[in-house]
Chains A and B, each alone.
Chain A
Amino acid sequence: KAGVTQTPRYLIKTRGQQVTLSCSPISGHRSVSWYQQTPGQGLQFLFEYFSETQRNKGNFPGRFSGRQFSNSRSEMNVSTLELGDSALYLCASREQLGSGNTIYFGEGSWLTVV
């Protein structure tokens, strides 16, 4: 079974621009969540989608948004990029919601904002 796939792996954007990151979950997984990893803050939860509906949201500004499609693929968008948005963005998937369902991560998308 293929793992969680994220594209692009690396990208550089300029302050003020917007960016869209894409994620394909493991086949059969209906939940997709997004995390931001920065050196100082560790892994921070952004949001989770299940059946095209946002189920949970972290403490990030409205510039961070996401969506999920009917095939469970997901995208996240960051508008009006700031230097502090430079981070590794990780997508993760699990079969179902529920505490006992293990979350599996993709390799991440490295975003650098200059």
Chain B
Amino acid sequence: DQQVKQNSPSLSVQEGRISILNCDYTNSMFDYFLWYKKYPAEGPTFLISISSIKDKNEDGRFTVFLNKSAKHLSLHIVPSQPGDSAVYFCAASNFGNEKLTFGTGTRLTIIP
């Protein structure tokens, strides 16, 4: 049962444009959401998070949006840079069961 889904395995975006990565979840008990970025042969690097009491969180070029009614979150990267090329994972946890549940990842490629 895949509780966190990233339906796009890959995404290509021109440098300087906006990258939008999407994530859907099914467990309504999730109350904290995170995005991680992963380069090959490295561990995931934390990017940005959002609590379920918010619908938006910004950090520099990265903004995460949460739509609780749709059980959907998205990560916006503006402007996209070549160094953003990586696999992006969304993850979720809930207060009662604090383990992170990850999506399967989206490979983002920024085209120069």
Contacts and interface: CB of A to CB of B under 8 A. Distances in A.
A11 B86 CA distance: 25
A108 interface: yes
Interface stretch (A12-20, A60-68, A75-83, A95-103): A95-103
A88 to B, nearest CB: 8
Contacts, number: 62
A8 to B, nearest CB: 14
Contacts of B46: 102-105
A48 B44 contact: no
Given A107-B42, A107-B43, A100 B32 contact: yes
A107 B45 CA distance: 9
A54 to B, nearest CB: 12
Contact of A56 (B43, B99, B104): B99
Interface residues of B, number: 26
A99 B31 contact: yes
B85 interface: no
A43 B102 contact: yes
Q: Which of A90, A99, A107 has the most CB of B within 10 A?
A: A99
A42 B104 contact: yes
Given A99-B93, A102-B34, A90 B99 contact: no
Contacts of B34: 102-103
A72 interface: no
Interface of B: 31-32, 34, 36, 41-46, 49, 51, 89, 91, 93-95, 97-105
29 contacts: A6-B43, A33-B99, A33-B100, A42-B89, A42-B102, A42-B104, A42-B105, A43-B100, A44-B102, A45-B99, A45-B100, A55-B98, A56-B97, A56-B98, A90-B43, A98-B95, A99-B31, A99-B95, A99-B98, A100-B51, A102-B46, A102-B49, A103-B46, A104-B46, A105-B44, A105-B45, A105-B46, A107-B43, A110-B41
